Structure 1
Amino acid sequence: MMIIRKVAMMGGFTVLVFLRPVFNLFCRVGSYICLLGFLFCLFIMRGGESPVLPFFFSGLGLTAFMWLYDSVLGWLLPGSDIYTEK
């Protein structure tokens, strides 16, 4: 049973590590666009209808997703027993 778990973790790690550049690029570009939109709305657009909060929370969510993706990769890392019980 332990071997099946290790093989599944290795397969998941392999797939996620190959998809990481795509997700990383998507999240970084999206968060930079949200940062620019947030700053533009904060300093240039004055009024009650400016979309400051959606830009802020979208950028924050993309950054959190990127960190979560990296933490899952760290958990699936072969030879890493950081999160397992001993």
Structure 2
Amino acid sequence: MQHHIRTTLQLGQLLLSARKHQGLSQAELAARLGLSQARISQLEQQPQTITALQLLQLTSVLGLELLVQSRDNTQDTGSTEAEW
């Protein structure tokens, strides 16, 4: 299933959902990544603080793949550059 992520809030929700889908607690995920449980909580609640390395590690552990592609402007949902 594909998820379109255009805001940091959507990213946090996806990370939380994927972790729960894998049956992992924040502590278990943190242990696999060498992070603290508090950092996992922060990444889910405030994903704007994530580093590129952490994002790639999280996607790997959670069985996700990061794909970046050009957006079809005819399907733009009104997001603006201010979100970035």
Structure of higher RCO (CA pairs closer than 8 Å, 6+ residues apart): 1
**What TM-score range do you get, normalising by the shorter chain?**
under 0.3
* TM-score where L is the length of structure 2: 0.26
Higher Cα radius of gyration: 1
Structure number with the higher helix fraction is 1
